[in-house]
């Protein structure tokens, strides 16, 4: 089985939107390999520090909400 890390990145980015606080901060309770990949893509800032949260970039904030809606919500009737 080959793992699709892009799909994992998208799922984690969507879940970061779920834990959003202070406008663009999110709890960083996800695998550090994933948050490092999101950081390299310019979607989050500060994944490796002593703080309990990280900061979504403007692009990351928009993409995380879009992914959350696509992956985790039901269409309206």
pLDDT digits 0-9 by tens, 7-60: 999 999 999 898 888 888 887 778 788 888 988 999 988 766 666 788 899 999
pLDDT of residue 44: 86
DSSP structural state of residue 74:
P
pTM: 0.77
| Angstrom distance (rounded) from CA 46 to CA 66 | 22
More confident residue, 3 or 54: 3
End-to-end Cα spacing for the chain = 37
**What is the predicted pLDDT for the residue at 50?**
61
């Amino acid at each position: 089985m080959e793992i699709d890390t892009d799909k994992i990145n998208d799922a984690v980015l969507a879940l970061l939107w779920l834990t959003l606080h202070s406008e663009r901060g999110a709890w960083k309770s996800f695998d550090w390999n994933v948050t490092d990949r999101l950081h390299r893509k310019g979607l989050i800032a500060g994944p490796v520090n002593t703080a309990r949260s990280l900061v979504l970039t403007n692009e990351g904030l928009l993409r995380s909400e879009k992914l959350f809606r696509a992956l985790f919500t039901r269409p309206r009737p």
